[in-house]
Structure 1
Amino acid sequence: MTELRGANTATGAAASLRARPAAASVIAACLNAQAESRPRSVLGRAFGASPLSEASRQPYLDALSELHVADELEKLGSDWVILHDVPVGERGRVIDHLAIGPAGVFALAVQHQQAAAVTVRGDALAINGVARPHLARSRDLATEAAVNLTRATGLNVPVRGLIVFVAPQSVSVRNEPDDVGITSDRGVHKWLADREQTLSPTQVAMIADAAADPATWRGAVSRRAPGFNADAFDALRVEVQRAWLARGFWGTVLIAAAAVAAFRVFGA
Protein backbone atom coordinates (compact mmCIF):
# COMPACT_ATOMS: atom_id res chain seq x y z
CA MET A 1 0.00 0.00 0.00
CA THR A 2 1.30 3.47 -0.84
CA GLU A 3 2.79 5.01 2.29
CA LEU A 4 1.41 8.35 3.44
CA ARG A 5 3.34 8.41 6.70
CA GLY A 6 5.78 11.26 7.03
CA ALA A 7 4.11 13.21 4.25
CA ASN A 8 2.72 15.78 6.68
CA THR A 9 6.15 17.30 7.19
CA ALA A 10 7.01 17.87 3.52
CA THR A 11 5.96 21.50 3.14
CA GLY A 12 7.32 24.52 1.38
CA ALA A 13 7.30 25.65 -2.23
CA ALA A 14 10.97 24.69 -2.69
CA ALA A 15 10.58 21.06 -1.64
CA SER A 16 11.24 18.46 -4.33
CA LEU A 17 8.10 17.00 -5.83
CA ARG A 18 9.65 13.57 -5.29
CA ALA A 19 8.47 13.91 -1.67
CA ARG A 20 4.91 14.75 -2.64
CA PRO A 21 2.58 11.89 -1.67
CA ALA A 22 0.08 10.30 -4.01
CA ALA A 23 -3.46 11.71 -3.93
CA ALA A 24 -2.46 14.74 -1.82
CA SER A 25 -4.97 17.08 -3.46
CA VAL A 26 -7.98 14.76 -3.34
CA ILE A 27 -7.18 13.69 0.21
CA ALA A 28 -7.18 17.36 1.20
CA ALA A 29 -10.49 17.88 -0.62
CA CYS A 30 -11.98 14.84 1.09
CA LEU A 31 -10.91 15.91 4.57
CA ASN A 32 -12.03 19.50 4.02
CA ALA A 33 -15.47 18.29 2.93
CA GLN A 34 -15.63 15.78 5.77
CA ALA A 35 -14.87 18.52 8.31
CA GLU A 36 -18.14 20.20 7.33
CA SER A 37 -20.24 17.06 7.85
CA ARG A 38 -22.38 16.27 10.88
CA PRO A 39 -21.02 13.51 13.14
CA ARG A 40 -22.87 10.21 13.23
CA SER A 41 -25.20 9.43 16.10
CA VAL A 42 -24.48 6.62 18.55
CA LEU A 43 -27.09 4.45 16.79
CA GLY A 44 -25.64 5.36 13.42
CA ARG A 45 -22.22 4.16 14.51
CA ALA A 46 -23.65 0.98 16.00
CA PHE A 47 -25.57 0.06 12.87
CA GLY A 48 -22.79 0.95 10.42
CA ALA A 49 -23.92 4.26 8.95
CA SER A 50 -21.18 5.53 6.64
CA PRO A 51 -19.01 8.25 8.19
CA LEU A 52 -18.64 9.85 4.75
CA SER A 53 -20.74 12.86 3.88
CA GLU A 54 -22.29 13.31 0.47
CA ALA A 55 -19.60 15.87 -0.37
CA SER A 56 -16.66 13.77 0.84
CA ARG A 57 -17.67 10.44 -0.71
CA GLN A 58 -16.40 11.09 -4.24
CA PRO A 59 -13.01 12.59 -3.27
CA TYR A 60 -12.62 9.67 -0.83
CA LEU A 61 -13.12 7.17 -3.65
CA ASP A 62 -10.85 9.22 -5.93
CA ALA A 63 -8.13 9.20 -3.28
CA LEU A 64 -8.33 5.43 -2.85
CA SER A 65 -8.14 5.04 -6.63
CA GLU A 66 -5.05 7.22 -6.94
CA LEU A 67 -3.34 5.39 -4.08
CA HIS A 68 -4.16 2.06 -5.71
CA VAL A 69 -2.73 3.15 -9.07
CA ALA A 70 0.38 4.45 -7.28
CA ASP A 71 0.88 0.95 -5.88
CA GLU A 72 0.54 -0.53 -9.37
CA LEU A 73 3.13 1.90 -10.76
CA GLU A 74 5.67 0.77 -8.17
CA LYS A 75 5.82 -2.53 -10.07
CA LEU A 76 7.63 -0.78 -12.92
CA GLY A 77 10.86 -0.86 -10.94
CA SER A 78 13.85 1.46 -10.68
CA ASP A 79 14.03 2.24 -14.41
CA TRP A 80 11.01 4.48 -13.94
CA VAL A 81 10.55 7.64 -11.87
CA ILE A 82 6.99 8.25 -10.67
CA LEU A 83 5.92 11.64 -9.35
CA HIS A 84 2.52 12.13 -7.75
CA ASP A 85 0.04 14.98 -7.62
CA VAL A 86 2.15 17.26 -9.83
CA PRO A 87 0.75 20.81 -9.83
CA VAL A 88 0.38 22.32 -13.29
CA GLY A 89 -0.39 25.92 -14.16
CA GLU A 90 -2.23 28.58 -12.21
CA ARG A 91 -5.69 27.00 -12.14
CA GLY A 92 -5.03 24.49 -9.37
CA ARG A 93 -4.85 21.53 -11.75
CA VAL A 94 -2.69 18.50 -11.02
CA ILE A 95 -1.34 15.52 -12.91
CA ASP A 96 -2.35 12.54 -10.76
CA HIS A 97 0.84 10.61 -11.59
CA LEU A 98 3.71 11.56 -13.90
CA ALA A 99 5.58 8.47 -15.14
CA ILE A 100 9.05 8.98 -16.60
CA GLY A 101 10.89 5.97 -17.94
CA PRO A 102 12.47 4.21 -20.90
CA ALA A 103 9.22 4.45 -22.89
CA GLY A 104 8.92 8.21 -22.43
CA VAL A 105 6.89 10.57 -20.27
CA PHE A 106 3.24 9.94 -19.44
CA ALA A 107 0.73 12.13 -17.64
CA LEU A 108 -1.72 9.81 -15.89
CA ALA A 109 -5.28 10.81 -15.06
CA VAL A 110 -7.03 8.39 -12.69
CA GLN A 111 -10.79 7.94 -12.98
CA HIS A 112 -12.82 5.98 -10.42
CA GLN A 113 -15.50 4.25 -12.52
CA GLN A 114 -16.63 1.24 -10.53
CA ALA A 115 -18.69 -1.22 -12.60
CA ALA A 116 -18.92 1.24 -15.50
CA ALA A 117 -18.65 0.32 -19.19
CA VAL A 118 -15.99 2.47 -20.87
CA THR A 119 -15.88 2.65 -24.67
CA VAL A 120 -13.35 4.49 -26.81
CA ARG A 121 -13.81 4.88 -30.54
CA GLY A 122 -11.04 7.12 -31.82
CA ASP A 123 -11.67 10.56 -30.34
CA ALA A 124 -15.00 9.59 -28.79
CA LEU A 125 -14.96 8.37 -25.19
CA ALA A 126 -18.16 7.33 -23.43
CA ILE A 127 -18.98 5.96 -19.99
CA ASN A 128 -22.15 3.88 -19.85
CA GLY A 129 -23.04 5.32 -23.24
CA VAL A 130 -22.64 8.97 -22.22
CA ALA A 131 -19.94 11.02 -23.98
CA ARG A 132 -17.31 12.41 -21.60
CA PRO A 133 -14.53 15.01 -22.09
CA HIS A 134 -11.70 12.96 -20.57
CA LEU A 135 -9.63 12.80 -23.77
CA ALA A 136 -9.55 16.57 -24.22
CA ARG A 137 -8.61 17.12 -20.58
CA SER A 138 -5.84 14.54 -20.79
CA ARG A 139 -4.42 16.17 -23.93
CA ASP A 140 -4.49 19.58 -22.27
CA LEU A 141 -2.51 18.45 -19.23
CA ALA A 142 -0.03 16.44 -21.30
CA THR A 143 0.59 19.39 -23.62
CA GLU A 144 1.21 21.74 -20.72
CA ALA A 145 3.57 19.22 -19.13
CA ALA A 146 5.48 18.85 -22.40
CA VAL A 147 5.91 22.62 -22.73
CA ASN A 148 7.19 22.96 -19.16
CA LEU A 149 9.58 20.00 -19.37
CA THR A 150 10.92 21.01 -22.78
CA ARG A 151 11.65 24.52 -21.50
CA ALA A 152 13.30 23.21 -18.32
CA THR A 153 15.54 20.60 -19.96
CA GLY A 154 16.32 22.04 -23.37
CA LEU A 155 15.27 18.69 -24.83
CA ASN A 156 12.22 17.99 -26.95
CA VAL A 157 10.09 16.20 -24.34
CA PRO A 158 6.83 14.85 -25.72
CA VAL A 159 4.32 13.84 -23.06
CA ARG A 160 1.52 11.39 -23.73
CA GLY A 161 -1.68 11.38 -21.73
CA LEU A 162 -2.82 8.12 -20.15
CA ILE A 163 -6.29 7.70 -18.65
CA VAL A 164 -6.51 4.93 -16.05
CA PHE A 165 -10.00 3.69 -15.18
CA VAL A 166 -10.24 2.06 -11.76
CA ALA A 167 -12.60 -0.89 -11.18
CA PRO A 168 -14.56 -0.57 -14.44
CA GLN A 169 -16.88 -3.29 -15.62
CA SER A 170 -15.18 -3.17 -19.00
CA VAL A 171 -12.87 -1.03 -21.12
CA SER A 172 -13.39 -1.38 -24.87
CA VAL A 173 -10.92 0.51 -27.06
CA ARG A 174 -11.06 0.69 -30.83
CA ASN A 175 -8.65 3.00 -32.67
CA GLU A 176 -6.89 4.36 -29.59
CA PRO A 177 -5.80 7.99 -30.10
CA ASP A 178 -2.09 8.45 -30.81
CA ASP A 179 -1.65 11.04 -28.06
CA VAL A 180 -3.77 9.55 -25.26
CA GLY A 181 -3.67 5.99 -23.97
CA ILE A 182 -6.54 4.26 -22.20
CA THR A 183 -6.24 1.38 -19.77
CA SER A 184 -7.60 -0.01 -16.51
CA ASP A 185 -5.93 -0.17 -13.12
CA ARG A 186 -5.31 -3.88 -13.73
CA GLY A 187 -3.50 -3.15 -16.97
CA VAL A 188 -1.59 0.07 -16.29
CA HIS A 189 1.69 -1.59 -15.30
CA LYS A 190 1.75 -3.79 -18.41
CA TRP A 191 0.62 -0.93 -20.67
CA LEU A 192 3.63 1.17 -19.68
CA ALA A 193 6.12 -1.70 -19.44
CA ASP A 194 5.28 -2.89 -22.98
CA ARG A 195 6.01 0.46 -24.68
CA GLU A 196 9.09 0.67 -26.89
CA GLN A 197 12.14 2.43 -25.45
CA THR A 198 12.51 6.06 -26.51
CA LEU A 199 14.68 7.52 -23.73
CA SER A 200 18.14 6.61 -22.45
CA PRO A 201 18.78 6.29 -18.71
CA THR A 202 20.59 9.65 -18.83
CA GLN A 203 17.59 11.33 -20.45
CA VAL A 204 15.21 9.74 -17.93
CA ALA A 205 17.30 11.07 -15.05
CA MET A 206 17.54 14.55 -16.59
CA ILE A 207 13.81 14.82 -17.24
CA ALA A 208 12.96 13.40 -13.82
CA ASP A 209 15.18 15.96 -12.08
CA ALA A 210 13.49 18.76 -13.98
CA ALA A 211 10.02 17.36 -13.28
CA ALA A 212 10.76 17.14 -9.55
CA ASP A 213 11.77 20.81 -9.40
CA PRO A 214 8.75 23.00 -8.53
CA ALA A 215 10.32 25.83 -10.55
CA THR A 216 9.67 23.79 -13.72
CA TRP A 217 5.93 24.18 -13.30
CA ARG A 218 5.76 27.90 -13.89
CA GLY A 219 2.88 29.50 -12.00
CA ALA A 220 1.96 26.24 -10.28
CA VAL A 221 1.10 26.12 -6.60
CA SER A 222 3.57 23.47 -5.46
CA ARG A 223 2.80 23.81 -1.76
CA ARG A 224 0.59 21.00 -0.49
CA ALA A 225 -3.13 21.72 -0.61
CA PRO A 226 -4.38 23.03 2.77
CA GLY A 227 -6.14 20.28 4.64
CA PHE A 228 -3.83 17.38 3.74
CA ASN A 229 -3.30 15.17 6.78
CA ALA A 230 -2.14 11.59 6.36
CA ASP A 231 -3.11 10.54 9.89
CA ALA A 232 -6.62 11.97 9.55
CA PHE A 233 -7.17 10.19 6.24
CA ASP A 234 -5.93 6.89 7.64
CA ALA A 235 -8.32 7.31 10.59
CA LEU A 236 -11.18 7.98 8.17
CA ARG A 237 -10.33 4.81 6.25
CA VAL A 238 -10.53 2.84 9.50
CA GLU A 239 -13.95 4.37 10.26
CA VAL A 240 -15.24 3.50 6.80
CA GLN A 241 -14.01 -0.08 7.14
CA ARG A 242 -15.60 -0.49 10.58
CA ALA A 243 -18.90 0.86 9.26
CA TRP A 244 -18.77 -1.65 6.40
CA LEU A 245 -18.13 -4.50 8.84
CA ALA A 246 -20.99 -3.36 11.09
CA ARG A 247 -23.42 -3.29 8.14
CA GLY A 248 -22.27 -6.78 7.18
CA PHE A 249 -22.82 -8.03 10.72
CA TRP A 250 -26.34 -6.63 10.98
CA GLY A 251 -27.14 -7.88 7.50
CA THR A 252 -26.15 -11.39 8.57
CA VAL A 253 -28.24 -11.07 11.74
CA LEU A 254 -31.31 -10.04 9.72
CA ILE A 255 -30.89 -12.92 7.29
CA ALA A 256 -30.50 -15.39 10.15
CA ALA A 257 -33.58 -13.97 11.90
CA ALA A 258 -35.62 -14.20 8.70
CA ALA A 259 -34.52 -17.83 8.21
CA VAL A 260 -35.54 -18.74 11.77
CA ALA A 261 -38.92 -17.03 11.34
CA ALA A 262 -39.52 -18.81 8.04
CA PHE A 263 -38.65 -22.17 9.60
CA ARG A 264 -41.09 -21.57 12.44
CA VAL A 265 -43.86 -20.67 10.03
CA PHE A 266 -43.33 -23.27 7.35
CA GLY A 267 -41.61 -25.96 9.36
CA ALA A 268 -44.35 -26.29 11.96
Structure 2
Amino acid sequence: MSEELLRQHGSTPARTTFARFCGNSPLRADSVSWYLDAKGENVVGEILATLPPQWTSFHALPIGKKGSDIDHIVIGPGGIFTINTKHHAGKTVWVAGRGLMVSGQKQSYIRNAEYEAGGSRNC
Protein backbone atom coordinates (compact mmCIF):
# COMPACT_ATOMS: atom_id res chain seq x y z
CA MET A 1 0.00 0.00 0.00
CA SER A 2 2.71 2.47 0.91
CA GLU A 3 4.44 2.00 -2.43
CA GLU A 4 1.23 2.67 -4.35
CA LEU A 5 0.53 5.75 -2.25
CA LEU A 6 4.01 7.11 -2.93
CA ARG A 7 3.70 6.32 -6.64
CA GLN A 8 0.41 8.21 -6.88
CA HIS A 9 1.53 11.10 -4.71
CA GLY A 10 4.82 11.52 -6.60
CA SER A 11 3.07 13.29 -9.47
CA THR A 12 1.06 15.61 -7.22
CA PRO A 13 2.20 19.25 -7.36
CA ALA A 14 3.27 20.83 -4.08
CA ARG A 15 0.59 22.80 -2.20
CA THR A 16 0.80 26.53 -2.27
CA THR A 17 1.43 28.43 0.95
CA PHE A 18 -2.19 29.56 0.89
CA ALA A 19 -3.43 25.97 0.47
CA ARG A 20 -1.29 24.87 3.44
CA PHE A 21 -2.60 27.82 5.49
CA CYS A 22 -6.20 26.80 4.68
CA GLY A 23 -5.44 23.22 5.73
CA ASN A 24 -5.88 21.64 2.30
CA SER A 25 -4.72 18.04 2.26
CA PRO A 26 -1.48 17.31 0.41
CA LEU A 27 -3.16 14.17 -0.95
CA ARG A 28 -5.21 14.04 -4.11
CA ALA A 29 -8.76 12.78 -3.58
CA ASP A 30 -7.94 9.48 -5.31
CA SER A 31 -4.96 8.93 -2.98
CA VAL A 32 -6.81 9.27 0.33
CA SER A 33 -8.01 5.65 0.41
CA TRP A 34 -4.45 4.44 -0.31
CA TYR A 35 -3.21 6.62 2.56
CA LEU A 36 -5.81 5.25 4.98
CA ASP A 37 -5.05 1.67 3.93
CA ALA A 38 -1.30 2.20 4.39
CA LYS A 39 -1.90 3.85 7.76
CA GLY A 40 -4.02 0.86 8.85
CA GLU A 41 -1.35 -1.60 7.75
CA ASN A 42 1.22 0.32 9.80
CA VAL A 43 -1.04 0.26 12.88
CA VAL A 44 -1.55 -3.50 12.54
CA GLY A 45 2.21 -3.94 12.09
CA GLU A 46 2.83 -2.01 15.32
CA ILE A 47 0.34 -4.23 17.17
CA LEU A 48 1.96 -7.39 15.79
CA ALA A 49 5.36 -6.12 16.97
CA THR A 50 4.08 -6.45 20.54
CA LEU A 51 3.54 -10.22 20.23
CA PRO A 52 5.73 -12.45 22.44
CA PRO A 53 9.18 -13.32 21.04
CA GLN A 54 8.17 -16.80 19.87
CA TRP A 55 6.00 -15.09 17.24
CA THR A 56 7.44 -13.61 14.04
CA SER A 57 5.62 -11.33 11.65
CA PHE A 58 6.33 -10.29 8.08
CA HIS A 59 4.68 -7.44 6.24
CA ALA A 60 3.75 -6.61 2.62
CA LEU A 61 4.96 -9.88 1.13
CA PRO A 62 4.55 -9.82 -2.66
CA ILE A 63 2.82 -12.77 -4.29
CA GLY A 64 2.02 -13.58 -7.88
CA LYS A 65 2.84 -11.45 -10.87
CA LYS A 66 0.13 -8.80 -10.68
CA GLY A 67 1.40 -6.64 -7.80
CA SER A 68 -0.62 -8.45 -5.13
CA ASP A 69 0.75 -8.82 -1.64
CA ILE A 70 -0.11 -10.36 1.68
CA ASP A 71 -0.42 -7.56 4.22
CA HIS A 72 0.90 -9.57 7.19
CA ILE A 73 2.01 -13.13 7.90
CA VAL A 74 2.37 -14.19 11.52
CA ILE A 75 4.20 -17.40 12.45
CA GLY A 76 4.32 -18.86 15.94
CA PRO A 77 3.44 -21.76 18.18
CA GLY A 78 -0.24 -21.49 17.24
CA GLY A 79 0.37 -21.78 13.51
CA ILE A 80 0.73 -19.57 10.47
CA PHE A 81 -1.77 -16.75 9.92
CA THR A 82 -2.29 -14.20 7.18
CA ILE A 83 -3.87 -10.87 8.05
CA ASN A 84 -5.45 -8.63 5.46
CA THR A 85 -6.17 -5.07 6.60
CA LYS A 86 -9.05 -2.95 5.31
CA HIS A 87 -10.33 0.52 6.18
CA HIS A 88 -14.10 0.88 6.59
CA ALA A 89 -14.49 3.54 9.29
CA GLY A 90 -18.10 4.24 10.17
CA LYS A 91 -19.40 1.45 7.93
CA THR A 92 -21.63 -1.46 8.91
CA VAL A 93 -19.79 -4.75 8.47
CA TRP A 94 -21.72 -8.03 8.28
CA VAL A 95 -20.05 -11.46 8.26
CA ALA A 96 -21.73 -14.86 8.13
CA GLY A 97 -20.16 -18.10 6.98
CA ARG A 98 -18.27 -17.26 3.82
CA GLY A 99 -20.12 -14.00 3.16
CA LEU A 100 -18.89 -10.50 3.99
CA MET A 101 -20.69 -7.24 3.30
CA VAL A 102 -19.76 -3.63 4.00
CA SER A 103 -22.68 -1.20 4.10
CA GLY A 104 -24.80 -3.75 2.25
CA GLN A 105 -22.25 -4.28 -0.53
CA LYS A 106 -20.84 -7.79 -0.97
CA GLN A 107 -17.03 -7.85 -0.74
CA SER A 108 -14.62 -10.43 -2.16
CA TYR A 109 -12.16 -10.23 0.74
CA ILE A 110 -12.54 -13.89 1.74
CA ARG A 111 -12.09 -15.14 -1.84
CA ASN A 112 -9.04 -12.88 -2.25
CA ALA A 113 -7.52 -14.08 1.03
CA GLU A 114 -7.94 -17.68 -0.05
CA TYR A 115 -6.23 -16.87 -3.34
CA GLU A 116 -3.35 -15.21 -1.50
CA ALA A 117 -3.07 -18.18 0.87
CA GLY A 118 -2.59 -20.43 -2.17
CA GLY A 119 0.21 -18.07 -3.32
CA SER A 120 2.74 -20.33 -4.97
CA ARG A 121 0.05 -22.52 -6.56
CA ASN A 122 -1.56 -19.48 -8.20
CA CYS A 123 1.50 -17.59 -9.44
Query: TM-score surpassing 0.5?
Result: yes
CA deviations 1:214-253 (Å, max 9, x no partner) are: xxxxx7xxxxxxxxxxxxxxxxxxxxxxxxxxxxxxxxxx
How far residue 81 of structure 1 moved from its aligned partner, in angstroms, is 0.9
How far residue 78 of structure 1 moved from its aligned partner, in angstroms, is 0.7
Match of 1:95 in 2: 70
Match of 2:94 in 1: 119
Match of 2:50 in 1: 75
Match of 2:27 in 1: 52
Task: List gaps (5 residues or longer) in structure 1.
Answer: 1-25, 149-218, 220-268
How far residue 91 of structure 1 moved from its aligned partner, in angstroms, is 1.8
How far residue 74 of structure 1 moved from its aligned partner, in angstroms, is 1.5
The structure whose Rg is larger is: 1
Whose strand fraction is larger, Structure 1's or Structure 2's? 2
Amino acid at match of 1:88: I
The structure 1 segments of at least 4 consecutive aligned residues displaced by more than 2 Å after TM superposition are none
Match of 2:9 in 1: 34
Amino acid at match of 1:123: R
Native 8 Å contact 1:106 1:142 kept in 2: no
How many residues are aligned here? 123
Native 8 Å contact 1:31 1:56 kept in 2: no
How far residue 117 of structure 1 moved from its aligned partner, in angstroms, is 1.3
Q: Distance in 1 between matches of 2:99 and 2:42?
A: 28
Q: Distance in 2 between matches of 1:73 and 1:54?
A: 30
Q: Distance in 1 between matches of 2:99 and 2:68?
A: 23
Native 8 Å contact 1:98 1:105 kept in 2: yes
CA RMSD of aligned residues (A): 1.7
TM-score (norm 1): 0.44
Q: Secondary structure at the match of 1:63?
A: helix
How far residue 116 of structure 1 moved from its aligned partner, in angstroms, is 1.4
Match of 1:107 in 2: 82
Whose helix fraction is larger, Structure 1's or Structure 2's? 1
Match of 1:224 in 2: none
How far residue 100 of structure 1 moved from its aligned partner, in angstroms, is 0.6
How far residue 143 of structure 1 moved from its aligned partner, in angstroms, is 2.1
Within a 5 Å distance, the mapping from 1:191-210 to structure 2 comes to none
Q: Secondary structure at the match of 1:115?
A: coil
Native 8 Å contact 1:70 1:97 kept in 2: yes
Task: List gaps (5 residues or longer) in structure 2.
Answer: none
Native 8 Å contact 1:34 1:55 kept in 2: no
CA deviations 1:14-48 (Å, max 9, x no partner) are: xxxxxxxxxxxx11211111121232222111111
> Percent of counterpart pairs with the same letter?
30
Matched, 1:63 2:57: no
Native 8 Å contact 1:65 1:110 kept in 2: yes
TM-score (norm 2): 0.91
Native 8 Å contact 1:37 1:53 kept in 2: yes
